[in-house]
Amino acid sequence: MADIVHARDGLPSAGTARLKSAPKPAHAEGTSGAAPPRTDVGTLVLHWTTAIAFTVSLFTGIRIAADALYAPVSKWLSPILPQGQIWTWHFLAGLTLFFCAASYLIYMRRSALANRNALKKTRVMVMPVASKMRYGGLNVLLHWAAYLIIGIMTVTGIFLYLGHGGWLVQIHSYVAFIGLAYIFVHALAHYLYGGWWQVFRIFRPAKLVLTQAVKPKPLLIAVGAAIVVTAAVAATDWATRDTLIIAKVDGVPKLDGVLDEPLWNKARPVTIHTQQGENFAGGSGETTVEVRAVHNGDKVFFAVKWADPTRSLRRLPMIKKEDGWYLFDKRASRMDVVGFYEDKLAILFSDTADLGGSGVSNLGPSPLPADKPRPLNERGFHFTNDGSIKDLWQWKASRGGMLGRVDDQFMGPPYEPSKDDAAYMARYQGGYWNDPGRTIYSYNFKFFKKDYEGPVEVVKLPKDWKKTQDQLGKISFDPNTSDDENSRWNMFEDEVQPYSKEEDAKIPVGTVMPGVLISGKYEGDRGDLLGGARWKDGFWILEIERKLKTGSKYDKDFVPTKNLYMLVAAYDHVQTRHTRHARPVRIVTQE
């Protein structure tokens, strides 16, 4: 922050004697014949480093806030916000702010400038003095406000980084907007104190006035010490990250979501706090994910347990009305369903512990060049910027998840859009795609354009609509209710027939039909994963099986000679708004 009122401005300060070798200080504006004020080099360097880091942190943070479902102010600011690997820049800016804070504290002590922002100077604001002195006191008060803003954002940011959310997210967001307003108030207060020269003094460096209280090399030592402190913080973060040990065992677990086999007792679980996902924990967005893993020399087995208040299988079901079939959820055309959808779980494996969702999270309504389609949900794309491949396992409750399958997918560089992608007649997904092969699920309605809310074009009709209705169990039009334990919200190949107006006319208005079709079998790399899941008493338990080595370039091998890194995301009947996990878990496979 720019200095305000202190001895270096030519104002008297008791007990401060200037050395004979000290250069003549720049005088404060307002004195007859005085030169325009300047700022000492140390303060100037730290001020601009802090200002840049604060601005990057603020605008990347608002971009992250704009990704929320309800964020009118942030979304209004969206056109001027940055896009791309926002999370990475946000983390780095936060670490830089920590470095700046440490540097500033040390520099103030060593340069004997701590008195410049003494709180006692704010007393002039209520005294019968000239307005210039009052504005000087106001500037001191604003400096302390800046310390408070940065302090709150740093503390809440650390908790968010560690996976805690809820009300901390709101505080972090509100204080960020206060910080945005602070920038303008800070500049205005300087102008009121000394006009434009006071504002521009931060562009006019001057040597630090040497006094007997100034210690040697204040800026150099402050920066050096702050680098050491910041590096120690980063090293502590790295050293204290969770490690998932994949122990070797004998035998094979039954994939039923129960975890009653003795071999699971040899697996030490890792507990991961995730947050900012829609619907979880009564709206707080938090859920805790517990992961354990073992291998038997041929295959690796993962067991994942997470809290979810409801058992949700209703992935975009349809209801018949007088003029056709309608999807339950109107947000389907934006690929951003937050109501009638299935529960899911995603696990991402990477060779590196990159920041920002392993470097694949790219936020904004247009994070790719203009020759690529924009995301239909205007939230961004998952893709890598360095050409690397991340292995993605995704369990989808109604799309094979309750039938013993887990989808094997990947995240890589953006793929070339098809003609349908380019015409927005299909969903372009950046670098998020499927391993080569075939899956067993498809959708029972044809693609429709963004913001369309009319009747959909149905692909298949049930042969026996009454039987299909019965298999759905109790039908609720409240998305936050659980589906019956034995219900099934998909239709098998032998249960359906091609759509025809004649058959459709036999089905009464008000009939509900699943939006997912199941046919054939998994083939190729995409079928590498097996799984079994069970929901009970507010928790999902999922067991996954895969070979330690698959030979596919889209997969990551689990071998003792190489560590991997893992991120998890849980979905509570939402399409894309999963929980966030910022701190990768290290994976070590034992011999």
Q: Is residue 474 part of a domain?
A: no
Q: Return the amino acid letter for 574.
A: V
What are 151-199's pLDDT values in tens digits? 999 999 999 999 998 899 999 999 999 999 999 999 999 999 999 999 9
289 domain-assigned: yes
Of the chain, the percentage scoring pLDDT greater than 90 comes to 84
Residue 159 within a domain = yes
CATH, residue 289: 2.60.40.1190
First to last CA, the chain: 55
* Residue 337: inside a domain: no
- Find out whether 517 and 460 touch, Cβ atoms under 8 Å: yes
Give the model's confidence band at 33: pLDDT under 50 very low, under 70 low, under 90 confident, else very high.
low
| pLDDT tens per residue across span 55-104 | 999 999 999 999 999 999 999 999 999 999 999 999 999 999 999 999 99
**Pairing status of strand 496-498 against strand 460-462:** antiparallel
Which of the listed residues 215, 238, 261 is the one where a domain comes to its end?
238
515-554 confidence digits (pLDDT tens): 999 999 999 999 999 999 999 999 999 999 999 999 999 9
**185 and 302 fall within a common domain:** no
* Whether residues 37 and 110 fall in one domain: yes
Q: Which residue in this structure is represented by tokens 């690796």?
A: 300
Cβ atoms of residues 58 and 180 within 8 Å:
yes
Q: Are residues 195 and 257 in the same domain?
A: no
- Total count of domains within the chain: 2
Determine, yes or no, domain membership for 491: no
- Rg, the chain, Cα only: 30
3-state secondary structure of 18: strand
Q: For residue 91, what pLDDT is reported?
A: 94
The whole-chain average pLDDT of the chain stands at 91
| 31-40, 348-357, 374-383, range with the lowest pLDDT | 31-40
Rounded Cα distance, 134 and 126, in Å: 8
Residue range(s) defining the domain that contains residue 109 = 7-238
Residue 15 and residue 65 share a domain: yes
- Specify the pLDDT at position 281: 79
Say if residues 266 and 251 touch (Cβ distance below 8 Å).
no
- Could you tell me the CA-to-CA distances from 171 to 76, 168, 183, 377, 391 in Å, in that order? 20, 5, 19, 26, 34
Q: What is the pTM of this model?
A: 0.89
Whether 484 maps to a domain, the answer reads: no
Same domain as 404, residue 260: yes
Q: What is the pLDDT of residue 355?
A: 82
